[in-house]
Amino acid sequence: MTKVDFLKANFYHVKRIVTGCLMLALLLLACVTNAEEVAKRKITRIAGDLYRFQNKFHFSVFLVTPEGIIVTDPINSDAAQWLKAELVKRFNQPVKYLIYSHDHVDHIAGGEVFADSAVVVAHENARVNIIGEKRPTAIPDITFSDQMTIELGGKTVELTYVGRGHSDNMIVMRFPAERVLFAVDFIPVKAVAWKNMTDAYIPDWMDAIKLVETMNFDILVPGHGPIGTKADASAFRGYMETLYDEVLRAARDGKSLQEMKESIRLDQYKNWHLYEKFISLNIEGMYNQIKLHRRGN
């Protein structure tokens, strides 16, 4: 029997084997993918009873006390349900407070998951936006204008409105005993700003960072990316100020946006995360902000 005759005679057997191998490969790929998805959700200790929760590329923090848990940005409904189950399993304590950093949906969706036991807290401007934009989350029960302190089970978190910057309702959360500051979106660690900086107020954004620099903390926990220190806040302010100065100078020299994108490089920051991907968009975002408030000759 020739090789061709053999294959013809056993065609359906070979087909079944090949199909089986393909199905097994797809099953293994699905298992790996599921494992990767699970791995993107985790809880790590920052200091003392303060923990960081990761859901893919977003982060929030929570503080465990003898009288309950203070949770921050829920991220989304699925993430919040996963976190809620983990809190019961690990700590067996109810969530007493839920704090929103600002109103953007990618950080605060899913707040209704905790609303059965938690008092929801946010800046007064955030509540207005949450209602107006119909954010898919729990509406804040308590709001404040400048500062608020929450005490629970002998532990403290201090909430401070930092002014307009990335949104008009951004707050930071300081955990004095742990010497930690949770600051979302407007102070990335060793990374440039996100895309073209939508919902931004410039130069107010830099003023917000200056306020943060006056606060007493050691560990800076952002809403995306790695943990840093107060020095990272100063470094990012330096980046924003340099970008602002360069774009303003180019605008006064009569350059177009395209010319700015071709000439402004900021090479001192080229090793920062997302530099190559977003520097052009950062220039565009800064240009748009300057254009809003500048009146040339």
Backbone angles phi, psi at 52, to 5 degrees: -115, 130
Report how far residue 284's alpha carbon sits from residue 257's, in angstroms, rounded to the nearest whole number.
7
SS3 245: helix
Size of the chain, expressed as the number of residues it contains:
297
Mean predicted confidence (pLDDT) in 44-61: 98
Q: State the burial class of residue 183 (Cβ atoms within 10 Å of its Cβ: 0-12, 13-18, 19+).
A: buried
Range list for CATH 3.60.15.10 in the chain = 41-181
Mean pLDDT, the chain, integer: 91
Q: Which of 16-30, 35-49, 65-79 has the highest average model confidence (pLDDT)? A: 65-79
- To which residue do tokens 């009288």 refer? 67
When pLDDT is averaged across residues 33-52 and rounded to a whole number, the result is: 79
At 15, the pLDDT band (50, 70, 90 cuts) reads: low
Query: Hey, what are 241's tokens?
Result: 């100020």
Q: What pLDDT score was predicted for residue 1?
A: 54
Given this model, what pLDDT does residue 294 score?
83
Q: Taking the CB of residue 204, how many other CB atoms lie within 10 A of it? A: 15
Please check the confidence at residue 12 and state whether its pLDDT lies above 70: no
Q: What is the pLDDT of residue 99?
A: 98
Q: How far apart are CA 61 and CA 92, in angstroms?
A: 17
Q: Is the pLDDT of residue 146 over 50?
A: yes
Helix (H, G, I), strand (E, B) or coil at 75: strand
Q: Tell me, what's the pLDDT at 295?
A: 83
The single-letter code of the amino acid at 27 is L
pLDDT of residue 24: 53
pLDDT band for position 33 (cuts 50, 70, 90): very low
Residue 32 has pLDDT above 80, yes or no: no
pLDDT, tens only, 74-83: 999 999 999 9
Please, are residues 51 and 45 in contact by the beta-carbon 8 Å criterion? Answer: yes
Q: What pLDDT is stored for residue 188 in this prediction? A: 98
Given a cut of 50, whether residue 31 has pLDDT beyond it is no
* pLDDT at residue 139 greater than cutoff 80: yes
pLDDT given at position 5: 55
Question: How confident is the model at residue 164, as a pLDDT?
Answer: 96
pLDDT at 19: 56
**Strands (DSSP E) along the chain, which ranges?**
41-47, 50-55, 58-65, 68-72, 95-99, 119-123, 142-144, 147-152, 155-161, 171-175, 180-183, 219-222, 228-229
How many whole angstroms separate alpha carbon 15 and alpha carbon 276?
48
| pLDDT of res. 223 | 98
Mean pLDDT of 194-207: 95
- Residue 149: strand pairing partners: 158
pLDDT of 36:
41
Distance CA 95, CA 115 (A): 9
Type of residue found at 142: I
Residue 9's pLDDT band, with cuts at 50, 70 and 90, is: low
Is 17 a residue whose pLDDT tops 60?
no
β-partners of residue 182 are: 173, 221
CATH code of the region 41-181: 3.60.15.10
User: Can you tell me the mean pLDDT for 54-78?
Assistant: 98
